[in-house]
Amino acid sequence: MNPQPLRIEPGTTVNLGDYDPDYHADFEKQSAKAALKAMQDQLKDWQERLYAEGEQSLLIVLQAMDAGGKDSTIKRVFEGVNPQGVRVTSFKVPTEEERDHDFLWRVHKAAPRKGYIGIFNRSHYEDVLVVRVNELVPEAVWRARYDHINHFEKLLADGGTRILKFFLHISKDEQKERFQDRLDRPDKNWKFSMGDLPVREKWDDYMVAFADAISECSTDYAPWHIVPANRKWYRDLVIMQTILRTLEEMNPQYPPPEDGLDNVVIPD
């Protein structure tokens, strides 16, 4: 297969039709799963170092259409990590209190503290996606939010937070299969909502909104990544690879021990 870019460089004008959601490089299911399993211990080690150092943080943003795999990505990529140092925040429809503040108010409160990995299941990008497609605010309002988002993410980055943003790119046919699976399996019925169907009818509008958000808000300090996500095993692999590369660049270290530990005798 011809290589398909994952990270979107600043200034790129994105057309999601140029990105194949079935792409899987040279991997097959078994080799990808084996590679993921081998990397899970590395993630545990880096997370422990990050938590112990307490000087940096990592924010991971996951966006996708319904059934795009945000929940399962979190479950599989972060399997076995210490939950003490990881915080997952799911952004639902804003509450009355949240609507009474600026759109970033609830998001800033959830940003990861030093030493932590924060995972956003949906995020501040809903305010240039759902809000745009459903015409909840005037165009001048949601367009201005691209700059607000870039400045907000720069603020986090300047404070020691590395930011990785992933768009889990599935096809419309794949979404249909996953919806049907939710209907067919009693243990997955709870994941299906009748409200998913009107959103699906606006698929093309959402593709344009996602493409514009990625184009406007992929920066050196908070890059977007378009992840081919029809094949869950490839999705998990490339997200894990990207996270590990970033943690290696951050290179958190265990703090030095206190002075005098060589002479400590633990009393009976």
Q: Which of the residue ranges 27-31, 47-51, 168-172, 210-214 would you say has the lowest mean pLDDT?
A: 27-31
What mean pLDDT is predicted for residues 73-81? 95
- Could you tell me the pTM of the whole model? 0.95
Selected residue with higher pLDDT from 10 and 2: 10
Q: What pLDDT band is residue 1 in, cutting at 50, 70 and 90? A: low
pLDDT at 234 over 80: yes
pLDDT at 174 over 60: yes
Selected residue with higher pLDDT from 262 and 190: 190
pLDDT at 67 over 60: yes
Q: What pLDDT band is residue 180 in, cutting at 50, 70 and 90? A: very high
Nearest one of 59, 63, 60 to 16, comparing CA atoms: 63
What integer pLDDT is reported at residue 172 of this predicted model? 98
Per-residue tokens: 11 = 């200034």
235-261 as b/e: b if 16+ CB within 10 A: bbbbbbebbeebbeebebeeeeeeeee
Selected residue with higher pLDDT from 5 and 201: 201
pLDDT at 57 over 80: yes
Q: Which domains, and CATH codes, for the chain? A: 22-252 (3.40.50.300)
pLDDT at 41 over 60: yes
Residues 138-173: tens digit of each pLDDT: 999 999 999 999 999 999 999 999 999 999 999 999
Q: Which of the residue ranges 61-70, 191-200, 207-216, 240-249 would you say has the lowest mean pLDDT?
A: 191-200
The rounded percent of the chain whose pLDDT value lies above 70 is: 99
Which amino acid does the sequence have at 213? A
